[in-house]
């Protein structure tokens, strides 16, 4: 029978968790987070200093492995932080703050605080553009929430929250953005910033994409209104499949997410999507 992952030392003890983080963040040598110098330090030992405290021999600043991370300036034990990181990273449809409260034995306020800090660390947007080298990027929008806020007799999803997602078919990378409205004015700068003009853009037949598709080397569409979903390799099924996972999580796990916090939740789902093959502790060394 396989042993529980939470039996590992870094999930059980604060000092073991600190040593675990040091082995990840400083795998190629201790780096001063203040000046960036490598391996010019000395440990501060003795009763007056807490374990894991270093001093830079160059800038003379003190630091620990948590400086510059989401764990910095927190009174929560480090192994509890790592448990929260693992649970949020490994739970496919997300985990509510109430569930984290029960599992970690912390208050609801603490669980909520930890989860939003971890979401902040999950906000890793690479500088590279998607679809480089002529790759395929699927783009689509979805609408969620604000049930009951539609005017009587009105149709459409204008009253709902808008989410636009981009998926690089080659790398599998996904980026989602909460927008106030889905128009050429809002979509155009988004695609310019994140998608290479050498990419092939794949969308549905929405007019908003037709207006900006000419910027890319190729723009293919599927006509959903005519019940066309696949034509050869032309499809948006990948990005639409990611929406199904997002909505199941928002509806089944979180139930209600406000406009103010929707982007961090989208970022959380993107993170799990992008790092689903990588180790679950990727967030540990992420900077705020």
Q: Are 173 and 104 in contact (CB under 8 A)?
A: no
Predicted pLDDT of residue 1: 67
Q: Are 266 and 107 in contact (CB under 8 A)?
A: no
Residues in the chain: 288
State the DSSP H helix or E strand holding residue 122, giving kind and residue range, or none if neither. helix 108-122
Split at pLDDT 50, 70, 90, the class of 2 is confident
Residue pLDDT, tens place only, 225-283: 899 999 999 999 999 999 999 999 999 999 888 889 999 999 999 999 999 874 444 44
Q: What are phi and psi of 230, to 5 degrees?
A: -140, 135
Two tokens, residue 194: 């994140």
Distance in angstroms (rounded) separating the CA atoms of residues 147 and 141: 18
Two tokens, residue 9: 């030392």
Predicted pLDDT of residue 158: 75
State the DSSP H helix or E strand holding residue 201, giving kind and residue range, or none if neither. strand 200-204
Query: Has this prediction a pTM greater than 0.75?
Result: yes
Indicate the burial class of 128 (C-beta count within 10 angstroms; 0-12, 13-18, 19 or more). exposed
Residue 151 is classified by DSSP as: P
Residue pLDDT, tens place only, 64-84: 999 999 999 899 999 999 999
Percent residues over pLDDT 70 in the chain: 92
**For residue 257, what are the contacts with CB-CB under 8 A and spacing of at least 6?**
145, 250, 265
**CA-wise closest residue to 18 among 77, 61, 75:** 77
Domain boundaries, the chain: 5-125, 136-257
Q: Are 69 and 285 in contact (CB under 8 A)?
A: yes
Two tokens, residue 190: 């988004």
Q: Are strands 200-204 and 41-43 parallel, antiparallel or unpaired?
A: unpaired
Distance in angstroms (rounded) separating the CA atoms of residues 225 and 163: 20
CATH architecture assignment, domain 136-257: 2-Layer Sandwich (3.30)
State the DSSP H helix or E strand holding residue 80, giving kind and residue range, or none if neither. helix 78-90
Residue pLDDT, tens place only, 6-43: 999 999 999 999 999 999 999 999 999 999 999 999 99
CA distances from 49 to 14, 60, 274 (A): 16, 16, 39
Distance in angstroms (rounded) separating the CA atoms of residues 86 and 93: 13
Residue 97 has pLDDT above 90, yes or no: yes
Q: Are 88 and 269 in contact (CB under 8 A)?
A: no
Q: Are strands 136-144 and 200-204 parallel, antiparallel or unpaired?
A: parallel
């Amino acid at each position: 029978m396989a042993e529980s992952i939470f039996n590992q030392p870094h999930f059980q003890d604060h000092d073991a968790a600190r040593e675990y983080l040091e082995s990840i963040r400083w795998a190629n040598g201790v780096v001063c987070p203040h000046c960036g110098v490598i391996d010019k330090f000395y440990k501060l030992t003795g009763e007056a200093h807490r374990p894991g405290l270093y001093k830079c021999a160059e800038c003379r600043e003190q630091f620990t492995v948590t400086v510059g991370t989401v764990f910095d300036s927190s009174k929560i034990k480090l192994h509890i932080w790592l448990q929260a990181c693992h649970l949020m990273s490994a739970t496919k449809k997300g985990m509510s703050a109430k569930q984290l409260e029960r599992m970690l034995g912390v208050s609801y306020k603490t669980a909520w605080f930890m989860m939003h800090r971890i979401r902040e660390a999950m906000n890793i947007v690479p500088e590279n553009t998607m679809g480089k080298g002529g790759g395929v990027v699927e783009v689509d929008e979805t609408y969620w929430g604000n049930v009951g806020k539609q005017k009587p007799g009105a149709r459409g999803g204008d009253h709902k929250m808008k989410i636009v997602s981009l998926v690089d078919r080659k790398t599998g990378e996904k980026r989602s953005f909460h927008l106030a409205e889905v128009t050429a004015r809002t979509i155009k700068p988004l695609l310019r910033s994140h998608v290479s003009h050498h990419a092939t853009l794949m969308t549905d037949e929405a007019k908003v994409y037709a207006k900006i598709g000419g910027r890319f080397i190729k723009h293919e569409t599927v006509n959903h209104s005519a019940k066309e979903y696949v034509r050869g390799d032309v499809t948006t099924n990948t990005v639409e499949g990611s929406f199904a996972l997002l909505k199941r999580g928002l509806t089944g796990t979180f139930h209600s997410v406000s406009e103010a916090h929707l982007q961090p939740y989208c970022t959380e789902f993107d993170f799990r999507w992008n790092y689903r093959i990588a180790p679950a502790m990727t967030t540990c060394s992420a900077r705020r």
